[in-house]
A and B are shown apart, each in its own frame.
Chain A
Amino acid sequence: MRQKNRSRYLGDLLIYLAIIGAALWGLRIATTAQAYNWQWYNVPQYLYKIHEGVVYPGPLLRGLITTMQISAGAMVIAAVLGLLVAVLGMSGSRVGRILARGYIEVVRNIPILVLLFLFYFVVAPIFGLGRFASGMLTLALYEAAFAAEIYRAGIEGVPRGQREAAAAVGLTRAQQMRYVVLPQSIPLILPPMTNLAINLIKHSAIVSVIAIFDLANEGRNVISETFMVFEVWFTVALVYLVITTALSFLATGLERRFARSRASARAR
């Protein structure tokens, strides 16, 4: 029985490899039919250059640095703003709840690209924002709406009794939140927040339309110089893939760890 299973797995694995191989081969056939000139050997110089033993980042890596900068900045703002929106949305203040609800609805129902244009062409001149700031703020505002929902779910995931008990020992609403609810919601918030960071990095590629030289835009530039469409896009996609996959491993790792620490706390 065991033996049979194993040989079947092996067979399936071979079928899988054959299908992937066929797909790649098909791509090759299709492209050569159109006289596409593959030049993988030309790609590395756009990633990095070595000059007199020192490694310099090429355009693609410089773009990656910009992507990471803009994503990191946006993530921090989104995390703070999201918390603010979540807390306002659950607060006793009616104006606060309306504002939070309105903000989330507006951001969720407008495409991020349109939001970016709205920001870059309308909001930025009013507030005197630069290109980079517009891009970063758009991303931050967009993701903050999702962050707010994550916080809300995390906070509501803490049993109501915890909050009531905190109230019963005389804490104010703010103190109940700060000392009892938030600490317990962190395990519920952190893993989806990591996923949010992944989404943010993916969405950050959109800022290339307002001429910010992030990874995607540098990719477009290199292509317009060299016509290595597939090579460059595959490389760029791979770089994004590596980063997002690393982060998603982190997310599952966090999730497992929290699940385990909860389970062991119960067992003790």
Chain B
Amino acid sequence: MVDAVSPDRPLAVELRGVCKWYDEFQALKDIDLQVRQGERTVVCGPSGSGKSTMIRCINRLEEHHGGEIRINGESVELYEARPHLIRQRVGMVFQQFNLFSHMTVVENCCLGPIKALKLGRAEARERAMHYLEKVRIPEQADKYPSQLSGGQQQRVAIARALCMSPQIMLFDEPTSALDPEMIQEVLEAMIALAEDGMTMICVTHEMGFARTVADSVVFMDRGEIVEQAPPSEFFTAPRSERTRAFLDKIL
């Protein structure tokens, strides 16, 4: 079990009235979200509800059109011209892993540290091995992504993100492209990360994970945050009808 986060910690991520449009379609409507340092937030909701869009706005893979997004108190728009500076501090793990297929596992992990953080090769490799051990696949370091199972690939992707020593980690359905028997190994890596006190925002439908790890669960539907509550409340006494309907479907 992971310790709860005291409410006087500073805010790591703050969204205020965030809106986003794809042409005429509004994907995010007035999103408010606060995540304190060390806090673990799980985001769930039906397909197309804007979960991915929201977390991709946080590390500027998408641009938002209204409202404000702050990271450690700084507005992301200060980095309009250099979004890579934000991404060096905010790690991300994708549903489809997105490992660089022309590079070995360890090269995948070293690319960011060497090119973005300007670490030396030896140091970067050392760091990569450290995190690969952490996700328990150091022996695969010199293989290519296509030679690994899905679960292994996703753990490499986590290690790759960690190599940048991010202050915040974003996960976009990290287990939903995996076969059931591989989900657990990835979840374990994420739990270990949570135990180390990492600030995390996870889009996931693994409700077991949400129950044990999350400080707060967010339910999104049609581009809005419908409900946000600690897991104990969220699962036992959902306030909104939509949340209840959703939970009935997936539990």
Q: Do any CB atoms of chain A lie under 8 A from CB atoms of chain B in the complex?
A: yes
8 pairs from A and B in contact (CB 8 Å cutoff): A159-B98, A168-B59, A168-B91, A168-B161, A169-B160, A169-B161, A171-B112, A268-B144
Q: Is B99 an interface residue (CB 8 A)?
A: yes
Q: How far is the CB of A187 from chain B (nearest CB, A)?
A: 9
Q: Is A21 an interface residue (CB 8 A)?
A: no
Q: How far is the CA of A179 from the CA of B82 in the complex (A)?
A: 18
Q: How far is the CB of B84 from chain A (nearest CB, A)?
A: 5
Q: In the complex where A162-B100, A184-B102 touch, is A171 in contact with B61 (Cβ < 8 A)?
A: no
Partner of B83, one of A167, A180, A183: A167
Q: Is B6 an interface residue (CB 8 A)?
A: no
Q: Is A111 an interface residue (CB 8 A)?
A: no
Q: How far is the CA of A268 from the CA of B106 in the complex (A)?
A: 18
Q: Is A77 an interface residue (CB 8 A)?
A: no
Q: How far is the CA of A168 from the CA of B94 in the complex (A)?
A: 10
Total residue contacts A-B, CB cutoff 8 A: 79
Q: Is A130 an interface residue (CB 8 A)?
A: no
Q: How far is the CA of A159 from the CA of B96 in the complex (A)?
A: 11
Q: Is B111 an interface residue (CB 8 A)?
A: yes
**Docked-complex contact B111 and A169, CB < 8 angstroms:** yes
Question: When A and B form their complex, which 10 residue pairs have the shortest distance between CB atoms, in order from nearest?
Answer: A169-B112, A170-B88, A165-B98, A170-B116, A161-B98, A168-B92, A170-B87, A265-B146, A268-B147, A172-B84
Contacts A161-B94, A167-B84 known; list 14 others, CB within 8 Å: A161-B96, A164-B94, A165-B92, A166-B111, A168-B87, A169-B116, A169-B164, A170-B84, A170-B85, A170-B89, A171-B84, A173-B84, A184-B100, A268-B146
Kindly list chain A residues whose C-beta atoms are within 8 Å of the C-beta of B82.
Answer: 172
B-binding residues in A (CB < 8 A): 159, 161-162, 164-173, 175, 179-180, 183-184, 265-266, 268
Q: How far is the CA of A122 from the CA of B117 in the complex (A)?
A: 51
Q: In the complex where A161-B94, A175-B115 touch, is A169 in contact with B147 (Cβ < 8 A)?
A: no
Q: Could you say which of A164, A165, A170, A172 has the most chain B C-beta atoms within 10 Å of its C-beta?
A: A170
Q: Is B101 an interface residue (CB 8 A)?
A: yes
Partner of A166, one of B91, B96, B100, B146: B100
Q: How far is the CB of A182 from chain B (nearest CB, A)?
A: 10
Q: How far is the CA of A265 from the CA of B112 in the complex (A)?
A: 24
Q: How far is the CA of A265 from the CA of B99 in the complex (A)?
A: 14
Q: How far is the CB of A178 from chain B (nearest CB, A)?
A: 9
Kindly list chain A residues whose C-beta atoms are within 8 Å of the C-beta of B102.
Answer: 183-184
**Docked-complex contact A165 and B94, CB < 8 angstroms:** yes
Q: How far is the CA of A167 from the CA of B115 in the complex (A)?
A: 12
**Docked-complex contact B92 and A171, CB < 8 angstroms:** no
Q: How far is the CA of A162 from the CA of B96 in the complex (A)?
A: 10
Residue ID in chain B nearest A173 by CB atoms: B84
Kindly list chain B residues whose C-beta atoms are within 8 Å of the C-beta of A165.
Answer: 92, 94, 98-100, 157, 160
Q: In the complex where A162-B98, A166-B100 touch, is A171 in contact with B146 (Cβ < 8 A)?
A: no
Q: How far is the CB of B13 from chain A (nearest CB, A)?
A: 15
Q: How far is the CB of A176 from chain B (nearest CB, A)?
A: 9
**Docked-complex contact B146 and A266, CB < 8 angstroms:** yes
Residue ID in chain B nearest A187 by CB atoms: B102
Q: How far is the CA of A184 from the CA of B100 in the complex (A)?
A: 9
Q: How far is the CA of A164 from the CA of B112 in the complex (A)?
A: 13
Q: How far is the CA of A173 from the CA of B146 in the complex (A)?
A: 25
